């Protein structure tokens, strides 16, 4: 497996990440307030997914405190160690959960995060949501303190608007640091960041967009269009959050048909076409973190990095999905 040209700098930092990372919400193992969103994965299943991701060139993992209240972080660190992965070869991203907390808990809880992920460092520490009891300046000051102490390498945010992202950048700059990323929902069926200023602001500031839910919770694979009965097997929360209703499936049918036509042209899957558009249409601005519940899904996601859609096909998809901007 060649790794040529699959890495990008995260924002203006020196941190190099593969264009496709592994989103690790599904490693929550049924714990926490959102741990049952995905089916339970045991240690061996998690290890197989991580090993396949590594074998296919993925070098970074995105998790969060709230994913099983540390269960996902612990599982990743445990399996990486058992796979004999050296810390210097792994990029680890996690997030602080802000709801009903003040910014002071960022520093107070960091040692727990470091302990859970040990021996892997926190290369990217992100504010999971902008809504805490403390304003953005206070949150950024706490991140800057952690950067000063070298407890984290780089600072990022998640679900921040263009205005909040700019404010966060301004506050970090006062301490000599830069915001490197904003993790937001972005896929072909949800392109709102192109109209609400988030994407344009990220480009202007040199901030990387980390796209979560890049396959729209599996809708872009086409499996729910071809077999709606599969919807019965997903959790109620996922049905609601993933727009798995008849009206939305009908609205997105034409997009699925285009993806399937292109998948035959390139000899890949519809999901890979959808991911490839995200990592190439905006040049180096966007990286993606699809989840995977099987090694086969992990392999399919990672192999997206090894081809590039032709310009006319990127533009074709762009035109076909403008209704979702």
Q: Are 111 and 104 in contact (CB under 8 A)?
A: no
**pLDDT for position 1:** 44
Residue 197 lies in a domain: yes
pLDDT in tens, 117-151: 999 999 999 999 999 999 999 999 999 999 999 99
Residue 262's nearest CA partner among 229, 304, 228, 290 is: 304
**CA Rg value for the chain:** 19
**pLDDT for position 3:** 41
**pLDDT for position 4:** 57
Report the chain's terminal Cα–Cα distance, integer Å: 36
Domain of residue 87, residue span: 7-216+279-293
Residue 65 lies in a domain: yes
Q: Strand 16-18 relative to strand 7-9: parallel, antiparallel, unpaired?
A: antiparallel
Neighbours of 119 (CB within 10 A): 12
The whole-number average pLDDT for the span 20-26 is: 97
Residue 221 lies in a domain: no
**Average pLDDT over the chain, rounded to whole?**
93
Report the distance separating Cα 314 and Cα 324, nearest Å: 16
User: pTM for the complete prediction?
Assistant: 0.94
Q: Are 255 and 266 in contact (CB under 8 A)?
A: no
**pLDDT for position 2:** 44
Residue 325 lies in a domain: no
Residue 323 lies in a domain: no
Residue 238 lies in a domain: no
**67 catalytic, yes or no?**
yes
Q: Are 289 and 21 in contact (CB under 8 A)?
A: yes
Write the DSSP symbol of residue 197: S
Provide the number of structural domains found in the chain. Answer: 1
Both structure tokens of 49? 């997914």
pLDDT at 182 > cutoff 70:
yes
Residue 288 lies in a domain: yes
Question: Which residue among the candidates 37, 67, 125, 177 is catalytic per the annotation?
Answer: 67
Residue 316 lies in a domain: no
Q: State how far Cα 318 lies from the chain centre.
A: 21
Residue 139's nearest CA partner among 167, 162, 115 is: 167
Spell out the residues 6+ positions from residue 115 whose beta carbon is closer than 8 angstroms to its own: none
Whose structure tokens read 């973190």?
Answer: 289
- Per the DSSP assignment, residues forming a β-bridge with 92 are 61
Domain with 114 in it: what CATH number?
A: 3.20.20.100
């Amino acid at each position: 497996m060649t790794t040529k040209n699959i890495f990008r700098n995260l924002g203006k930092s020196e941190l190099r990440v593969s264009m496709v990372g592994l989103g690790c919400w599904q490693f929550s193992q049924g714990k926490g307030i959102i741990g049952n969103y995905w089916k339970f994965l045991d240690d061996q299943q998690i290890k197989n997914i991580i090993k396949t991701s590594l074998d296919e060139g993925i070098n970074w993992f995105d998790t969060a405190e709230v994913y099983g209240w540390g269960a996902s972080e612990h599982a990743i660190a445990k399996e990486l160690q058992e796979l004999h992965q050296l810390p210097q070869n792994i990029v680890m991203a996690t997030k602080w959960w802000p709801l009903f907390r003040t910014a002071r808990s960022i520093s107070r809880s960091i040692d727990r995060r470091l302990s859970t992920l040990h021996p892997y460092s926190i290369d990217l520490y992100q504010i999971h949501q902008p809504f805490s009891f403390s304003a953005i300046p206070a949150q950024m000051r706490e991140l800057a303190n952690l950067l000063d102490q070298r407890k984290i390498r780089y600072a990022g945010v998640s679900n921040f608007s263009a205005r909040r992202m700019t404010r966060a950048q301004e506050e970090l700059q006062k301490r000599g640091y830069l915001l490197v990323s904003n993790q937001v929902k972005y896929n072909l069926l949800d392109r709102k960041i192109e109209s609400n200023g988030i994407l344009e602001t990220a480009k202007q500031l040199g901030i990387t967009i980390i796209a979560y839910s890049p396959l729209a919770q599996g809708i872009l694979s086409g499996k729910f269009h071809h077999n709606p009965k599969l919807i019965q097997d997903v959790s109620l929360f996922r049905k609601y959050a993933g727009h798995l209703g008849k009206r939305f499936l009908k609205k997105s049918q034409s997009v699925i048909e285009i993806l399937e036509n292109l998948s035959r042209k390139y000899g890949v899957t519809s999901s890979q076409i959808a991911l490839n558009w995200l990592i190439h249409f905006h040049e180096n601005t966007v990286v993606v973190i699809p989840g995977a519940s099987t090694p086969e899904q992990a392999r399919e996601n990672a192999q997206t990095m090894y081809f590039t859609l032709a310009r006319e096909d990127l533009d074709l998809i762009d035109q076909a999905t403008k209704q979702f901007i």
